[in-house]
Amino acid sequence: MHVVPRLVAVLSAILLLAGCAGADLAKQRFPRTTIPANAENVSDPSETATRNTPAPDGKPVDPAFAADKLRLTDPCELLDEDVLKRFGTPGDRSRSGFSRCSNFMKDKAGKDLAVTVELGQTMTSELKNADKQLAGLRSHEQTLENSACFVSVITQEKPGLGITVQIGYEDGDACAPGREVAESVVKQIKDRAATRTAAKGSLITLDPCTLPDKAAVDAAAGADYRLYPYGLHSCAWVGDDRELSLGFRETFIPDDREFDKGQTEVDLGGGVTGYQVSSTTAFPSCEVKWVQLAGDDNDGELVEVKSAGPKESQFDRCASAVAFAKALVGKIPKG
């Protein structure tokens, strides 16, 4: 079974792992275009995937944009209020995960203006179509129904990574403020002006593609797989008849740990309790997640593992996910 046609499904699954959770999403009325519709038509999959090797050792266009540095860049600190005030009145900053932050503000006429920055996004169509220059970097702009503009700057080409500033604005040129914010973001990152310190035991500095042992990946994804890094905090291993994904996420942690009404508890060892959920869709899967850190106001960090495969592929998805999770637990620093 050829893996490339399933790439959109795989990346969509990863997007769910890495997706944003929290009340701020209720305010977000402007669709994201993280995964291009033509992702399955990549002419040379070897450009974005490697076979049975560690995660690609990408070379950023500037050392300031190395993945380990971007993981420790606070996206909310990049939304400089002095810059936002050029366009109106900033609101409260709204964090969504490790690498995304928004400011739902008002323009000078009191109309809604949403500004979002996301770091370390996987760039595919944006890389291919980057026909502009911004702040010394290749860039791409995409508009959506005259109400949103996505300004993406390329920070790494193999694999493609970048930074996107998204402007939601229904009463003007959304790309103009997007360019100004993007220029400010690039400058601050180069100046290391928004660096944060990781909490003890945090997942934020970990590379999901290189953390697991190869033997654990082989057992869960099969001996012949392709590796697909996605963003800064998610990874997938796609085999001929099965696939495995791993994501680290900052999100809402319910007091009762009930993430899904159909979940069951599983002992992952080391005093760690996992929460297992099966799905019987056209592409059956089993997901196991556990809480790495739990902070104030129900904020926290999750590890999410998913094993999936087509219906005709006969293997125990939950056994695969649990075995991989157990192998991973001991490699993650304790809080």
Mean pLDDT by 10 residues, the chain (335 residues): 40 40 32 32 36 55 96 98 97 95 96 97 96 97 90 94 96 92 98 95 97 96 92 96 97 94 96 96 95 91 97 95 97 87
Q: Is the separation of the CB atoms in 153 and 163 below 8 Å?
A: yes
* Residue 44, pLDDT score: 35
323 domain-assigned: yes
Please tell me whether residues 75 and 63 are part of one structural domain: yes
Q: Is the separation of the CB atoms in 101 and 78 below 8 Å?
A: yes
Q: How far apart are CA 23 and CA 325, in angstroms?
A: 29
* Residue 302, pLDDT score: 97
Please tell me whether residues 138 and 16 are part of one structural domain: no
Q: What is the phi/psi pair of residue 324, to 5°?
A: -65, -40
201 domain-assigned: no
Show which of 164, 196, 228 is a domain's final residue.
Answer: 196
Please tell me whether residues 7 and 67 are part of one structural domain: no
List strand residue ranges (DSSP E) for 160-224, in order.
160-168
Q: How far apart are CA 334 and CA 256, in angstroms?
A: 21
Q: Is the separation of the CB atoms in 180 and 274 below 8 Å?
A: no
Please tell me whether residues 333 and 251 are part of one structural domain: yes
Kindly state the DSSP code that residue 182 receives in the 8-state scheme.
Answer: H
Q: How many domains does the chain fold into?
A: 2
* Residue 57, pLDDT score: 55
202 domain-assigned: no
Is 251 strand, coil or helix? strand
Residue 260, CB-side half-sphere exposure with 13 Å CA sphere: 15
Please tell me whether residues 19 and 67 are part of one structural domain: no
* Residue 59, pLDDT score: 87
| CATH number, residue 153 | 2.60.120
Hey, which residues does 226 pair with through a beta bridge? 51, 238
Whole-prediction pTM value? 0.82
Please tell me whether residues 235 and 306 are part of one structural domain: yes
Tokens of 326: 């157990």
In which domain, by residue range, is 108 found? Answer: 57-196
